Amino acid sequence: MRRMPLGIQTFRKIVEGSYVYVDKTQYVYELLYSASYYFLSRPRRFGKSLLLDTIGEAFSGDRELFKGLFLYDSGHSFEKHPVLRLDMSGIANETPEILKDSISTALRERARDEDLELLGGVPSDLFRQLIKALHRKYGKGVVVLIDEYDKPILDHLVDLETAEANRQIIKGFYGILKSMDRFLRMTFITGVSKFTKTSIFSELNNLYDITMTNEYSDICGVDTEDLDKYFGEHIEHLSTLDCFSHIRPKNANIRLANSVSPVLNPEFRVPDSDYTGEDRIRRIEGIRDGILSWYDGYSWDGRTRLINPFSLLSFFMQKRFSSFWYSSGTPTFLIKLIKEKPSTFLSLGELELSERSLDTFEISKIDIVPLLFQTGYLTVEERRFRGDSVNYLLRMPNLEVREAFYMNILAEFTERGGQLTETAYWRIKDSLEAGDLGNIVSVLKSLFASIPYQLHISREAYYHSIFIALMRVLGFEMDAEVSTSTGRIDAVLELGDKVYIMELKYIDCAPDAAPEEKRAIFDKALDEGMRQIEDRGYARKFEGSGKTVYKAALAFLGRDDIEMRVERDVLTDDALTASSP
């Protein structure tokens, strides 16, 4: 079997080392002979660097390196061109001065590699000189490849002054490329975010942005249709291992089976006597289902579904399902933005944005939803055409992102959120299935009691956010801010033949308040929550479903002062009858 190229971003090393390589060279060919200036935005660890390196090798003059791949017999001339590659993730950017010095140093080092000398110290001047010098030396157009163009900005979104100063530097730096057109063969720029063209590329206004185009929708990532073609033998190998003996297709417990408990001795093989042909097929299907549940679902056109390559390779290497991509690095600025506005992620279940608002953002006016999309926490579920414009329906792509995202929220908002276990899941699940919500309150009290006073925020959205994050990280498909004809329900959970409609209320109350005062405040908040459910007829949404509906009011007075009141309704086609439990 071919080896897994986890962490390898060098095309030559993958090919010559007999690693698995998902052939993307058909897109490279199209890029080489379509336009000259390209821009691509994709999340981190999604294959952008490997794509750039592949393009660079296409201009190395080494046709044999591509033997067996699309580009080899494509008609590409494989004519050698000078390649100038700049990886901004390796450029220091702590201050604007350091950023300028680091870019200048990188350009001078590249010049020395070619026995060239550059004069002056301003990055844009050095960039211009180097392009001209390479063109003069080789007599060919220069190929410019810029990776992670936006890192000097994204690293400082918690410090907008530095972010803005760095933006000005790289704007001027990239801006010289348009004036260098007669010296260039091709320019390709990649990054995570997509700022408006006036922010970064006002001078370089001839970029062809392929981020959301149909023809390049799967230029990075692993198409689900390619899973068996490139990884089929690896899936079959995993099916023979003891650590996957429990796996079955569409296994409801697949979330817990491998992610919570460590896999011990994963190479221990199942005895042949316990591994029949039928069982083998079930295990292979189960592993495939698990891969798709955990790592599939990314899309930029609403049709093509892609698997996260870093997570897929990590899964095959470690032989277990886990949140590999998320744990490889969480942008601190995202958590900071969410902590400042804790209600921002409550409605992530279904969002519809216009193409313009989804595609770009500004440093001075950061909207967290486009940022979550560009960084990979949301993806395109569907394209919707609204007259002459296009809107995008967004959702979280898969279980890996969902579980790890909400776990990180809990860990940041509380001190014990990151320690939730399988026990908590089963306590709450058993409670919900039995229609007895007492265990939810006990888990909530334990969780909120762990919130340090300096992290506590006296706002209803704060408690609402933590409650939703808790339920989602435990695997419950709880919807937040659900719209009805009469208002918005705080939280709705459908579980089998039961529906839970919940309203959450927060009342600021002094921790040392007298018991009688707390009791009165609790009663008032719970009365208000139940009255809102009744007066606005939230349960009517499920009338005629035959399901048992539980109407619950949750009241928070601060940290672990929590109470719940529950009423049960049995909905039929003809009537709505209510009774207390």
pLDDT in tens, 83-133: 999 999 999 999 999 999 999 999 999 999 999 999 988 999 999 999 999
Q: What is the pLDDT of residues 4-42, one digit of tens each?
A: 999 999 999 999 999 999 999 999 999 999 999 999 999
What's the confidence (pLDDT) of residue 252? 36
Cα dihedral 12, 15, 18, 23 sign: positive
Q: Are 466 and 396 in contact (CB under 8 A)?
A: no
Q: Which residues pair with 259 in a beta bridge?
A: none
Domain ranges within the chain, ordered by starting residue: 11-216, 223-327, 414-581
For residues 221-245, one letter each, b for 16 or more C-beta atoms within 10 angstroms of the residue's C-beta and e for the rest, the string is bbbbebbeebbeebbebbbbbbbbe
Q: Are 119 and 99 in contact (CB under 8 A)?
A: no
What's the confidence (pLDDT) of residue 426? 75
302 CB-side CA count, 13 A? 12
Cβ–Cβ contacts within 10 Å for residue 358, how many? 23
Q: Which residues pair with 30 in a beta bridge?
A: none
- The Cα–Cα gap between 549 and 538 comes to 10
Give the global pTM. Answer: 0.82
- The Cα–Cα gap between 442 and 563 comes to 10
| Longest Cα–Cα distance in the chain | 87
Determine the distance from the C-alpha atom of residue 160 to the mean position of all C-alpha atoms in its chain, rounded to a whole number.
Answer: 23
Count H helices, E strands: the chain? 20, 16
What's the confidence (pLDDT) of residue 258? 35
What's the confidence (pLDDT) of residue 265? 39
Which parts of the chain have pLDDT scores under 70? 196-198, 248, 250-276, 328-332, 339, 341-350, 359, 361, 413-423, 450-458, 483-485, 558-560, 570-581
CATH classification (class only), 11-216: alpha beta
Q: Which residues contact 432 (CB under 8 A, 6 or more apart)?
A: 440, 476, 493, 495, 498, 500
- The Cα–Cα gap between 576 and 581 comes to 16
What's the confidence (pLDDT) of residue 436? 78
What's the confidence (pLDDT) of residue 325? 87
What's the confidence (pLDDT) of residue 187? 97
What's the confidence (pLDDT) of residue 485? 67
> What's the token pair of residue 421?
């276990």
Determine the distance from the C-alpha atom of residue 198 to the mean position of all C-alpha atoms in its chain, rounded to a whole number.
Answer: 26
